[in-house]
Structure 1
Amino acid sequence: MKLNKLTLSAGVAAAVLAFSSFAAQAETWKYAFEEAMEEVQGKYAQKFKEVIEANSDHEIQLFPFGTLGESADIMEQAQAGILQFVDQSPGFTGSLIPEAQVFFVPYLLPTDQEQLARFYKNSKAVNEMFPELYAEQGLELLTMFPEGEVAMTTKEPVESCADLEGVKFRVMTNPLLVESYKAFGATPTPLPWGEVYGSLQTNIIQGQENPTFFLYSTKLYEVTDYITYAGHNNFTTAVMANKDFFDGLSEEDQQLVERAADEAYDYIVEYQKGLADSELKKIQEAKPEITVTTLSEEQRKCFKDAAADVEAKFIEMTGDSGKEILDQLKADLQAAAE
């Protein structure tokens, strides 16, 4: 009887030890992004969280825009290891990683969403070259994905570059985007996102650009009167992990994080099908008097002509490294088109 008790006690102790060891491995990971929970980055983050939590004992805490500050704040927190994951557009990391500004060379990216989905998934530049550049900044690049064609919203109609002359146009804090709107004829005005609605409302700025879903969810159509599709860009975002954190994970957890990033990518590409059209319809229902224009090829000519100057400026800013990435991106885009 005494032996049975000893055996039972030893078994209980082993079970408790095993449970404690398992519990000690469970971690809470923090993930911040630049949009609201129900916007595209938020939907991606929720899918990422779902995959991690369904296949491990880890927990993901999500922090949508504004909860931890502006874009610059969450990037600093990710680099410092306060955040384990961050989703941020190259538009804001352009100063940190100059080559990432390539995504803002006008008319480089197509408007075809299926071609873009293939491009980001298979691109050598995205999946092999950029990770090295992000690693130099203490970041593990997990994926990049598109969020839709960018539209200009303004207070006056835009049918040519001449219509942007003198327009204070908000851009992200991205040197190449500043050069783009200079080339388009506008007066580029870098502003953090939190100041955009109020600045449009008070006429400090008269225009800005964003994907269609974002125009609706943030109600930017309330403070502008014209939506213009010039076909000049598609919004790109990047999901990253703190590199020291990622490198310190077990091989199993690293594979899980990569799996979650891949599954969330496939989910968000599917989720966005038809999203721009449905959100534009909602804008038109909410504000019937808004004018929506898709520029013709003739109307786009001045913007496309300006794109060559912006591309040259990108190479000037980034040197051989930038040119190599630009050339590879063009080859990758061609492969995705085929």
Structure 2
Amino acid sequence: MTYKSLFLTASAALVAVAGTASADTWRYAFEEAETEVQGVFAQKFKEEIEANSDHEVQLFPFGTLGESADIMEQAQAGILQFVDQSPGFTGALIPEAQVFFVPYLLPQDEATLQEFFRNSKAINEMFPELYAEQGLELLTMFPEGEVCMTTQEEVRSPEDLDGVKFRVMTNPLLVESYNQFGATPTPLPWGEVYGALQTGIIQGQENPGFFLDSTKMYEVTEYVTCIGHNNFTTAMMANKDFYDGLSEEDQKLVENATDVAFDHILDYQAGLQDKSLENIKSAKPGMTINILSEEERQPFMDTAPAVEDAFIEMTGESGKEILEQMKADLEAANAATN
């Protein structure tokens, strides 16, 4: 072998080693199963990263690394590079994120809702600063579907929730919201909910339709009630030190993969709520599914100002500014789609 051949062979080996060294494994945990909305988003993100780089993304669905609080701690500590978590669980960490639990703030119209999440100044400019203070890079927020209640008894008005022990996430504003609705809010980790309904420790809970279907909440409750009060929101984040340490190329890779997954999950959700409720009815024909009329919803809607006041009291001027900006963003989204 000539000197030139030896040199080229050695150079090729060095390039191969360098390429291997730059190929990292990134860990990404989320709060749902791989077949549920957060899991579908995560799989698309993984697919885009791995198709456009030498990096590998390892996915950790709910339960594999603990409860929601556990994966957030791991993300902040840098054990995880990416995490998907609802503001329902980050409310104690970032109080302003509780704004997503002000009832009747988010629209039911799908086009308006998607326009809001794409272009909201509150989401894209204000929230990233608040997440950064907690060592997190906010990459995106996205809706997961209309939230409905499941209960043992029929709910047609706030009076029907009187005395009902209703599971809520560990979120002070959600507790206040269900206080206003007339229930007895009972914070519980998700892993305990099915058993608590089965044994009567609680008599109700809320979640988006696909989650009621996939987790079989209908097996331990008798009624699904949709009052149009919220659309479940989640946030996809990176550990900030990790993200800031990435090359410009890898940061762009992550941003592009996030954008592709965002578009994918909005398309994926088209018709998902109706299909999920149909699945529930098919699995349990005796299940009663009630979509309340505007007139029936009004007493629930009347509680929203009190919850807004509680939100501002909890979060001060910062929360007030977020709430006002979100309302302005929602007006702009409505104007753009109607």
**TM-score category, normalised to shorter length:** over 0.9
> Are the equivalent residues in 2 in contact too, given 1:33–1:65 (CA < 8 A)?
yes
For residues 134-174 of structure 1, what are the alpha-carbon distances to aligned partners after superposition, in whole Å with 9 as ceiling and x for unaligned?
Answer: 00000000000000100010000000000000000000000
1:337 matched to 2:330? The reply is no
Structure 1 residue 120: Cα displacement: 0.7
Which residue matches 1:110? 107
RMSD, aligned CA: 0.6
1:228 matched to 2:229? The reply is no
CA distance in 1 between partners of 2:244 and 2:39 (Å): 25
Aligned residue-pair number = 335
Which residue matches 1:63? 60
Structure 1 residue 306: Cα displacement: 1.0
Alignment of 1:81-96 (within 5 A): 81-96=78-93
Alignment of 1:69-218 (within 5 A): 69-218=66-215
SS in 2 for 1:255: helix
Q: Of 225, 244, 254, which aligns to 2:241?
A: 244
SS in 2 for 1:151: strand
Consecutive unaligned residues of structure 1, counting only runs of 5 or more, are: none
Identical residues among aligned pairs (%): 73
Which residue matches 2:14? 17
> Are the equivalent residues in 2 in contact too, given 1:156–1:225 (CA < 8 A)?
yes
Counterpart of 1:132, as a letter, is: E
CA distance in 1 between partners of 2:123 and 2:78 (Å): 23
CA distance in 2 between partners of 1:7 and 1:295 (Å): 79
Consecutive unaligned residues of structure 2, counting only runs of 5 or more, are: none
SS in 2 for 1:69: coil
CA distance in 2 between partners of 1:232 and 1:178 (Å): 14
1:320 matched to 2:317? The reply is yes
Counterpart of 2:208, as a letter, is: P
SS in 2 for 1:221: helix
Structure 1 residue 116: Cα displacement: 1.1
CA distance in 2 between partners of 1:296 and 1:278 (Å): 20
Structure 1 residue 63: Cα displacement: 0.3
SS in 1 for 2:224: strand
Q: Of 24, 27, 49, which aligns to 2:46?
A: 49
Bigger drift between 295-304 and 241-250 goes to 295-304
Structure 1 residue 296: Cα displacement: 1.6
> Are the equivalent residues in 2 in contact too, given 1:113–1:148 (CA < 8 A)?
no
Find runs of 4+ consecutive structure 1 residues off by over 3 angstroms. none
Structure 1 residue 112: Cα displacement: 1.5
CA distance in 2 between partners of 1:334 and 1:147 (Å): 21
SS in 1 for 2:12: helix
Counterpart of 2:134, as a letter, is: Q
CA distance in 2 between partners of 1:257 and 1:63 (Å): 18
